Chains A and B, each alone.
Chain A
């Protein structure tokens, strides 16, 4: 629900320029995908938004206010390590709730955590340790946790990157469904991915990042109607056209941008 603006954001890490001149605005309730090849700094950009790192220069503002560190106004889902493995799925969410809404009694927290787990289809997993859950279930629990704090901004760093195709599709649908639920108070989402189709399926707006240093190579509005149904979406010409444009932008200059000696396979793997 917050507007997020980045103006001229640079980020360097020990003489290596990771991000350069990143400028864009995400409107309140936008679903923004950060799309780019590995190493383009898209995860770094998400860390800046999370307040885990700070730009070397330039400004990032949330709802007009500069980011000074991590905060509970942003829910974060990582690819791994979102949940603490020594706490059960339920305890993980309770800990988050205790931070976001202090001063309630134990039973209220417990009940709320159980409700959020049920919301993502994990009704029976309250007492299960993350190590006993599948990768997909773990990410469901992580999403439940991110929604539990009811933050206006949601940051997701390749949350489905380690999942198999079917589980990934299910979780994409779940995420869209949760995000769309309450129109008018939709969270502003930043979703990092290197998967073009995932980006089109989810996003209102796709920001394509290039390599060395990470710069914005293009911003694409995705005005495909919602709710989007995967099978139908994939058949439309609009989808195909956008996909081709994105692939072209992603791949242009890719060979010159890469350091020498790397192999690029036909499907773009290994970039």
Chain B
């Protein structure tokens, strides 16, 4: 028999009570209600399907936090107007606006993703093979390491003004900056990944007399993969930050631009809508990359 009186259920009921509480001249906030019910349904499905106790408890706890936040937000802005409604818009209004703004934001997202993916994949395509080679060949490492140490730590944001001046289009400048930002974490972690391959495995490879290309592809690359994944994740986060930073400066569309544009007009409802949208996008991408990482590293127990 499962416990019914868990904290998630209690907060869910508290939220529903607040939403349905009779008051004059106010409609039922359908959007909040829908979000709450969807979250509750997802948690219930996970409860029923997941065999992992910790994961189940985690889903319950996460939903409890979301319900608490929605409840607090609703009470503080709608039920009892405790906060400035311009800076702290009502959740119902924000969620309703989210639905109407979705097509515009999706169009912006496409533009943003083109920049992000181009810069990121370019970095991956160059930093990964280069990192493998530099990590493997001692002479190359000693030649290049000083430059890595000097150039690696420079915050990529400082390149933005110069890149915009230097390159013909805003698009090229953004891709360049995202490229630089993503390049170093991938490169540095790939080199270290090669260094961290157990010596015994390299001996094992050497006694097979593998050709250098086979060795790099079948031994060095997978051996360095744990560290490469760390670097690639780091690079993706950095690429996102740089994308937003670049769009704040020079774009006329995109998800970063969206937030910045409406902040200029003090339209904080749309600012919050934009932030929620960005967080959903990031969450989706992270979910995908985590699954990819788990697949690539499935050999590590």
Contact = CB atoms under 8 A, between A and B. Distances in A.
Interface of A: 47, 50-52, 69-72, 74, 76, 78, 80-87, 95-96, 99, 129-132
B62 to A, nearest CB: 31
B204 A52 contact: no
Interface stretch (B39-47, B73-81, B185-193, B206-214): B206-214
A86 B300 CA distance: 8
A81 B210 CA distance: 16
13 contacts: A51-B207, A70-B206, A70-B207, A70-B208, A71-B209, A81-B198, A83-B204, A84-B222, A85-B201, A86-B222, A95-B208, A95-B218, A131-B299
Specify which of A47, A69, A71, A99 lies most central, judged by the most chain B CB atoms within 10 Å of its CB: A99
Closest 8 CB pairs of A and B: A81-B200, A86-B222, A86-B299, A76-B207, A70-B207, A131-B301, A129-B299, A85-B299
A99 B300 contact: no
- Chain B interface, >50% SS class: helix
A78 B204 contact: yes
A51 B208 CA distance: 11
A130 B301 CA distance: 9
Nearest to A73: B209
B299 A81 contact: no
Given A51-B207, A84-B205, 9 more contacts: A69-B209, A70-B208, A72-B208, A72-B209, A76-B203, A84-B219, A84-B223, A86-B225, A87-B218
Contacts of B200: 78, 80-81
- Chain A interface, >50% SS class: loop
B299 A78 contact: no
A82 B205 CA distance: 9
B208 A99 contact: yes
B208 A131 contact: no
A156 to B, nearest CB: 12
B208 to A, nearest CB: 5
Given A86-B222, A129-B299, A131-B299, A81 B209 contact: no
A84 B225 contact: no
Number of contact residues on B: which range applies?
20 to 34
B207 A74 contact: yes
Nearest to B200: A81
B209 A99 contact: yes
B17 to A, nearest CB: 51
Contact of B208 (A86, A96, A129): A96
Contacts of A82: 204
A80 B206 CA distance: 15
Contacts of A74: 207
B204 A70 contact: no
Contacts of B205: 84
Given A85-B299, A86-B222, A131-B301, A52 B198 contact: no
B206 A99 contact: no
Contacts of B210: 99
A59 B203 CA distance: 22
Contacts of A69: 209
Contacts of A76: 203-204, 207
Nearest to A98: B214
A71 B298 CA distance: 31
A85 B209 contact: no
A99 B207 CA distance: 11
Nearest to B299: A86
B300 A131 contact: yes
A5 B201 CA distance: 28
Contacts of A52: 203, 206-207
